Chains A and B, each alone.
Chain A
Amino acid sequence: MNTLIRIALLGLAMLVGSVQAADPLVVTTGSDRAIPIAVVPFGWQGGTVLPEDMSTIIGNDLRNSGMYEPIPRQNMISLPTSAAEIIYRDWQALGAQYVMVGSIVPNGGRLQVQFALFNVATQQQVVAGTVGGTNDQLRDMAHHIADQAFEKLTGIKGAFSTKMLYVTAERFGVNNTRYTLQRSDYDGARGVTLLQSREPILSPRYAPDGRRIAYVSFEQRRPRIFMQHIDTGRREQLTNFEGLNGAPAFSPDGNRLAFVLSKDGNPEIYVMDLGSRQIRRVTNSGSIETEPFWGKDGQSLYFTSDRAGKPQIYKQSINGGSAQRVTFTGNYNANPKLSADEKTLVMIHRQDGFTNFKVAAQDLVTSRLRILSETSLDDSPTVAPNGTMLIYATRQQGRGVLMLVSTNGRVRLPIPTAQGDVREPSWSPYLN
């Protein structure tokens, strides 16, 4: 009897075993190419031609992330403006995985934009919505829609509504150069002049609130740090120390500013409390310390130092203590910028035995390093708040230009900006 039961149990166990083979599925690779997406021109019933083409802006935004590839308009077989008009067969034939449609309707002097994004294979809606604004806000609305779509598609918050600061220099003759500080959309569009000067402007930086900026201006023939309120244009001079005053960087809480002073001989890093305007020296060495960038805890600074002979990046607590060296690959690493999660260090990097300066990203845990730019003489990298894109300054045909690179390296393109030499880009935080 006992043995019988044992046999029965064994059989049962075997049966159950065969049914419960549902081990977890393991995904080890991701999409290795940009996903084709069709952003169909939005319908517009108004009489006049709109000043901006929303669907192109949305398509470009998604492309700039390096994750999506908009389908060229001339290849589109039909131009639906609403869900009912979509013929999925057409989009399947084009290889589009997603299709976005929309329409713009005048609404009492303003514009109302409806949009919807569909998965072509399943014909299901991914996201839909409406957004309103004025004629001048077509770009804002387009970036807003791109943000919504991007977040739904990837789970990553979109950064297409962010802004950029950069400096232009137009040389008219000897001793006649005009410098301007510009604020534009992240993609270089709609540049607005924040400041104009006949002396150099350097190192513009956003405060975390996105409302204040700090920069170095030579308007008194010497480099001095200023803070400016974007909305009102009000300016305050923050430093007037002998020698070099430079490389300002707001702390994550926006209450302190780190910068470089050479008043005691060689450039060292200081932190100013913006309320009391008290300064405190952070670094103390016989070498050059510059380009401070705050760690996300607001208690540590990353900076460039040549204490080991060549410029390398170090990290140090603002409360003193010794500096730890962060970069070891390459014979030149400078201008450190961190991703918002403090996982990735972006910097200007020169490989051993090379003369080219390139933008590189380094994992702060594994110290693995990857070159991101394909140009040379690169400078001033700045990272989007969601880390998916970065912009840096480089030179093309003797002219300073800005280049945008997706962090996954799939997209590299010049940013159209104003005339003259363009340099010193700085990405804003999320503004909404």
Chain B
Amino acid sequence: MQQKSVRSSSESYFWPTVWAVAIHALLFAMLFVSFHFAPELPPARPIVQATLYQLKSQSQATTQTTQKIAGEAEKTKARQYEVEQLETKKEEQQKQEAAEQKKAEAAKQAEAKKQAEAKKAEEAKKAAEQKKQADIAKKKSEEEKKKAAAEEARKKAAEQAKKKAAEDAKKKAAAEAAKKKAQEAARKAAEDKKAQALAELLGDTTERQQALADEVGDKVAGSLDDLIIKLVSEQWQRPPSARNGMSVEVLIQMLPDGTIVNASVTRSSGDAPFDNSAVAAVKNVVRIPEMQQLDSATFNAMYRQRRMIFKPEDLSL
């Protein structure tokens, strides 16, 4: 029994050993094999020229003249090409000059814009403060108005009460008046509370700062909107199927560092090349580093995911 078991154990090691050696050998061999999956262009198919039987005897193509004609044709072509190139060069020069002028102008405009923006920001601050004051004033005036209205109402009520008094007992009228007065008082109290809460809200310094920061954030976000639109439209090469009035909606997803991680069609135009061109335009922007100037709350709310509508209006067909 024991012998048998020993023999069987040695037997049980045989095949595993063989397998192990074989697999190792195979793995080792694979080190010397390289796989490449590069597409191989199919070999050019031989093209067979068709023959016209009845023409064979006639057509003794004079290759010399052919070459001569070819040479001449090439010469004239070369000349023409030179002329054309000269013309295109001239055009290019003019274009470059124009481009430089444009650049200079753009720089000027950019500076002017900056200054204007700085001014705007200051003005906006002032405006915000003025607005707050105006709000308080408004509230006050509203309160006064309400009071006036209340008084008028009271007067009317009093008149009514007088009329009623002629019919009903004086006591009842008095009771009603008292009731009204009480209601009025309650309303007044509530209004006072409201005003107080508002005053507290506005008076609180941290909240005021928050409000200010929000406003600035909105402004940065606004200019980032324009930047994104500019960068994407510069990359947007419309297919020939694009037409004015077509529209595709693309969802873009960004990281806080401005990297565009994905762009996908959320509402197709029905025209695949048009949809693809919009997605490609977004993807070709790749990264918008200016996104980093946003605080994370604003970024998350506005740019982590943003819808974009591509709707050409400048096409000629």
Contact = CB atoms under 8 A, between A and B. Distances in A.
B286 A119 contact: yes
Interface stretch (B16-24, B68-76, B140-148): B68-76
Interface residues of A, number: 86
Contacts of A112: 36, 38
B39 A132 contact: yes
Nearest to A180: B49
Given A195-B50, A365-B243, A399-B73, A31 B317 contact: no
Contact of B41 (A132, A170, A414): A132
Contacts of A231: 45-48
Contact of B277 (A156, A194, A416): A156
A193 interface: yes
B310 A27 contact: yes
Interface stretch (B7-15, B155-163, B174-182, B227-235): B227-235
Contacts of B280: 152-155
B58 A153 contact: no
A6 to B, nearest CB: 10
A192 B309 CA distance: 47
A281 interface: no
Interface string B17-55: 000000000000000000010111101111111111011
Contact of B240 (A4, A126, A198, A407): A407
A169 B91 CA distance: 34
Interface in A245-284: none
Contact of A30 (B44, B46, B233): B233
Contacts of B50: 194-195, 228, 233-235
A369 B62 CA distance: 47
A156 B66 contact: no
Given A155-B273, A196-B52, A387-B240, A368 B317 contact: yes
A140 B218 contact: no
A363 to B, nearest CB: 5
Interface stretch (B109-117, B165-173, B300-308): B300-308
A344 B311 contact: no
Interface in A357-394: 361, 363, 365-366, 368, 370, 386-388
A396 B76 CA distance: 11
B38 A132 contact: yes
A20 B46 contact: no
A370 B48 contact: no
A133 B301 CA distance: 51
Contact of A198 (B51, B59, B228, B243): B59
Contact of B284 (A126, A141, A196, A365): A126
A397 interface: yes
A178 interface: yes
A25 B307 contact: yes
A25 B308 contact: yes
A10 to B, nearest CB: 11
B306 A196 contact: no
A130 B36 contact: yes
A24 B48 contact: no
B94 interface: no
Interface in A111-137: 112, 119, 121-122, 124, 126, 129-134, 136-137
A343 interface: yes
A137 B39 CA distance: 13
A196 B49 contact: yes
A25 B38 contact: no
B314 interface: yes
A197 interface: yes
Contacts of B204: none
Contacts of B285: 122
B240 A172 contact: no
A232 B48 contact: yes
Nearest to A119: B286
Nearest to B46: A231
Given A7-B194, A368-B317, A419-B73, A22 B302 contact: yes
Contacts of A24: 249, 306-309
B220 to A, nearest CB: 12
A126 B284 CA distance: 8
B73 A195 contact: no
Interface centre among A144, A235, A419 (most CB of B within 10 A): A419
Contact of B48 (A131, A233, A341, A386): A233
A431 to B, nearest CB: 10
Contacts of A397: 76, 80
A45 interface: no
Contacts of B44: 136-137, 140
A420 interface: yes
Interface centre among B58, B69, B221 (most CB of A within 10 A): B69
Nearest to A72: B92
A219 B317 contact: no
A388 B52 contact: no
A19 interface: yes
Given A20-B301, A26-B309, A231-B47, A156 B52 contact: no
A76 interface: no
B190 A3 contact: yes
Given A30-B281, A153-B237, A339-B240, 7 more contacts: A27-B310, A112-B36, A119-B284, A129-B39, A155-B273, A156-B273, A231-B47
The 8 closest A-B pairs by CB, nearest first: A155-B276, A233-B48, A130-B38, A387-B240, A122-B286, A24-B307, A419-B70, A30-B236
10 contacts: A26-B229, A29-B312, A31-B234, A153-B237, A154-B237, A233-B48, A341-B271, A363-B317, A370-B317, A419-B66
Interface of B: 36, 38-41, 43-52, 54-55, 58-59, 61-62, 65-66, 69-70, 73-74, 76-77, 80-81, 190, 193-194, 197, 201, 214, 218, 221, 225, 228-229, 232-243, 249, 271, 273, 275-281, 284-287, 297, 301-303, 306-314, 316-317
